[in-house]
Amino acid sequence: MNSLFNPVDREALSRRLANLEPNATRRWGKMDPAQMLLHCALGLEAATGDRPMTQVLIGRLITPFIRRAVLGEKPFRRNAPTDPTFVVSDLQDFVAERTRLATLIDRFVQRGPELVGKQTHPFFGPLSGAEWGRLMYKHLDHHMRQFGV
């Protein structure tokens, strides 16, 4: 399975991120490219521990039924629900947000599976480092596909 902890997967995502244009047209959703970059950065901040989270009640109830599907091979579906704390609707600086996201990807990888695995996802709760690596890869892949890169 793809993971941000896999150097080949991470490099491929980094190339896609570098190819993202500020005026790229979205294929679904509401965010523009700069907003999407901040949205992805907020998710990575939860994974690195820079933005500590606690699991919401609905996540505790539903996660056992969907965990395998979410962490499996299939890409995320379009227009999946977003945790309100990760919704970005105001204007963002594209270059600054792309730099921020690239830095957070590096920080995530440098922390490694052991430290990342101590973080709590706001919906899925505790995840192993390997699960975080897969989830963050799938999240970034989802949004790169959203903008055709």
Give the closest residue to 77 by CA, choosing from 66, 85, 92, 86: 66
Domain range annotation of the chain:
7-146
The Cα–Cα gap between 89 and 56 comes to 22
Output the CA torsion 2→89→18→50 (10° steps).
Answer: -60
Tell me the whole-structure pTM to 2 decimals: 0.95
Query: Over the chain, what HEC string results?
Result: CCCCCCHHHHHHHHHHHHHCCCCCCCCCCCCCHHHHHHHHHHHHHHHHCCCCCCCCHHHHHHHHHHHHHHHCCCCCCCCCCCCHHHCCCCCCCHHHHHHHHHHHHHHHHHHHHHHHCCCEECCCEECCHHHHHHHHHHHHHHHHHHCCC
- CATH fit for domain 7-146, picks 3.30.160, 1.20.120, 1.10.3470, 2.60.40: 1.20.120
Give the pLDDT confidence of 38-77 residue by residue, as tens digits: 999 999 999 999 999 999 999 999 999 999 999 999 999 9
pLDDT of residue 83: 85
Q: Mean pLDDT, the chain, as a whole number?
A: 96
Q: Which two tokens stand for residue 83?
A: 């945790």
Q: How far is CA 80 from the centre of its chain?
A: 13
